[in-house]
Every structure is written in C-alpha cells, then in structure tokens.
Amino acid sequence: MNCDQVRQRWELYYDSEGDSELYLQINEHIAACPSCAKWMFQQAQFEEAVTATLAASEPTAAMWQRVLSETGVARPAATRGWSFFGPFLALAASLLLFVGIWQFAPQQPAEHLSELAAVAHQQLIDKNRQVEFNSASDTEVEQYLKQRVSFPVRCPPRQDAGFEVRGGGVCSIAGDSAAYVVGQVEDKDVSIFILPAERLARFTHERDVLSREAVHHCRDGQYDMVLAKIDHNIVVVIGRGSPDRLERVVRAYGTYPHDPA
C-alpha cells in the first residue's frame, strides 16, 4: 500500500470500519513512513477535537420533564388515584412516616418547585389534566379544596385582586398532593398551586430563596411565577400575566376572612 492509498483509506482505519487486512497494511505502512504517520495522527487529532466539541453535555432536566410529560411517557402521576384512593393513600403515607421508613429511602436529586409547577400548569392549560371542580365562586372552590386535602387551604384570591376564579382541584407535585386553583388574570390563564408549608423543606432552592425574600419571582420557559410562604401554605402563582399582577394575586391569598369550616 502506497502513501496515496493509505490516505484515501484513513477514515476506514480511524472509524474502525475496515477489515483486519486493512489495519495490517496501514499499520505496516505508517511504521515505515513518518510522513504518513504524522498525517494520520493529525487527522485523528482533529476528529477527536471536533468530537469533544460536539460531545453531549448534561441533558436539560426541565425540558426533558416537559417532553416526557407532554408525550405521556412520564410515569403516571398519582393524581388520578387520589380521587378514589386518597384517604387510604394518606393513611398509608402517615403510617410510613410514623415508623420512619422514609429514612431508608434513597437520596433523590434536588427538585425545583418552580419547574414542577410549570409542568402542572402546562398540563392544565393543555387540558391534559381536567379541572376537577369548575366554579366561578371563590367560596365554593375553597370549600371543595378543604374537603379534598388534609392540609389547611385559604380562600382563593378574588376579583378585587384581579383574579377571576374558574375552579380548582388536587394534583400531585413531587409525588405529594397539592391543591390548585385555576383562573384568569387580565384574560390570561393563571394557576395557583398550594402546598403545606412543611413541604418547602423538600425544595431546597425555593426554601433558601424564601428564607431571604417574602415573595420570590422567577420564570420557567414562557411562564412567570411568584412564590410565597403564606400562613401554613406555600403558594405558587404561575401564568403569563405580568409579574406585578401575579404578585398582587399571591399577596391576596389568605387575606380574606378565614372560614374555620
């Protein structure tokens, strides 16, 4: 094999696509030809540099979560089960916590409440999750939610806060139940997610920022959101409304006369 033949076949050699005879002949040639040996080294060096530049980095977790959720590939959420098995699951969860089995659970990577809220809001917008209870009455929605969750919830914000309630229900966020209220702010769909305050410990990022700020603004994809710890709840207001309007809604949560029922 001469120099031209070696250089014409270098890709088969480099890509490990040639037969054993090819390797033998090229190896013999470059052992005796410093010029071709250098040339082959240069080709390989360049291709490896290109490969390293193009190499895959870490996948974008939030995007993949949305992709899997939207395509129905994500593991089935626990929300459907809650409507029927809710009381039993709650009892089972309480027992598990009581005996301390949770301590043996494997460590999970840190989760971001904002990302999970964005996914849940998108599911509501796309009607992938049906709103359980439809009502334009804030008091009716409040009563419904109080029957559905074991943690305290307050009356949703009203029209005087710029929020037009449309309904509510219970969904699963990070495997645990959360109440949600759907409605509109300036004709744009907005969701409010309500979790028990103690759940904040699970979301270390949000826990840290809410230890420094009373109200936290952030954005995930196309949605703005405002988070706050209010009374016994973590409240996330998310949608395409202006951040100021969303903050007004979050600040209105829990300001109405509390109905002890």
Partner 1 sequence: MPKWTGPELAKPSDDRVGRFLQHLEPLKAALEAYCRRSVHDPNAVEDVLQEAVGKAYRDFHLYAEGTNFRAWIFRYLNLEIYAGNRAFRRERREALDEEPTIEEVWQHAIGEPFIERLLNEPERILSRCDDALAEAILELSPQERSVLLLRAIGQFKHREMADILDVPMGTIMSALSRARVRLRLRLAEYARERGLLGPGSLQRPR
**Which residues does residue 234 pair with via DSSP β-bridges, in sequence order?**
195, 229
The minimum distance between CB 228 and partner 1, in angstroms, equals 26
Q: Cβ of residue 76: shortest distance to partner 1, in angstroms?
A: 7
Q: Is 23 in the site for partner 1 (CB under 8 A)?
A: no
In the complex, minimum distance from the CB of residue 16 to partner 1, in angstroms, rounded to a whole number: 8
Residue 49 C-beta: closest distance to partner 1, Å: 4
Exposed / middle / buried, residue 105 (Cβ in 10 Å: 0-12, 13-18, 19+): exposed
List 56, 99, 201, 261, residue binding partner 1 (CB under 8 A): 56
| Secondary structure letter of residue 153 according to DSSP | -
Residue in 181, 178, 129, 188 with CA at minimum distance from that of residue 158? 181
- State the binding string over 87-126 for partner 1 (x if CB under 8 A, else -): -----------------------------------x---x
Which amino acid, 190? V
Among 81, 87, 175, 221, indicate the residue that binds partner 1 (CB under 8 A).
221
Q: Which of 20, 108, 147, 222 binds partner 1 (CB under 8 A)?
A: 222
Cα(146)–Cα(154) distance, rounded to whole angstroms? 8
Least distance from C-beta 244 to partner 1, angstroms? 24
Residue among 59 and 109 whose Cβ is closer to partner 1: 59
Tokens of 112: 């971001």
The enclosing H or E element of 93 equals helix 79-99
Using CA of residue 40, residue 46, residue 49, residue 55, what is the dihedral sign?
negative
Q: Phi, psi (5° rounding) for residue 68?
A: -70, -35
CA 120 – CA 163 distance, rounded (Å): 19
Cα 133 to Cα 71, 81, 108, 115, 121, distances in angstroms: 25, 16, 33, 24, 16
State the minimum distance, in angstroms, from the CB of residue 89 to partner 1: 16
- Segments of 27-175 assigned E as strands: 133-134, 164-173
Return the range that interacts with partner 1 (CB under 8 A); candidates 37-45, 146-154, 156-164, 229-237.
Answer: 37-45
Tell me: does residue 72 bind partner 1 (CB under 8 A). Answer: yes
42 near partner 1, judged by CB under 8 A: yes
- Please, which residue, 42 or 83, has the CB nearer to partner 1? 42
Position among 51, 107, 108, 211 found at the interface with partner 1 (CB under 8 A) = 51
Using CB under 8 A as the criterion, which residues of the chain lie in contact with partner 1 when the complex forms? 7-8, 11-12, 15-17, 39, 42-43, 45-47, 49-60, 63-64, 66-68, 70-76, 122, 126, 128, 221-222
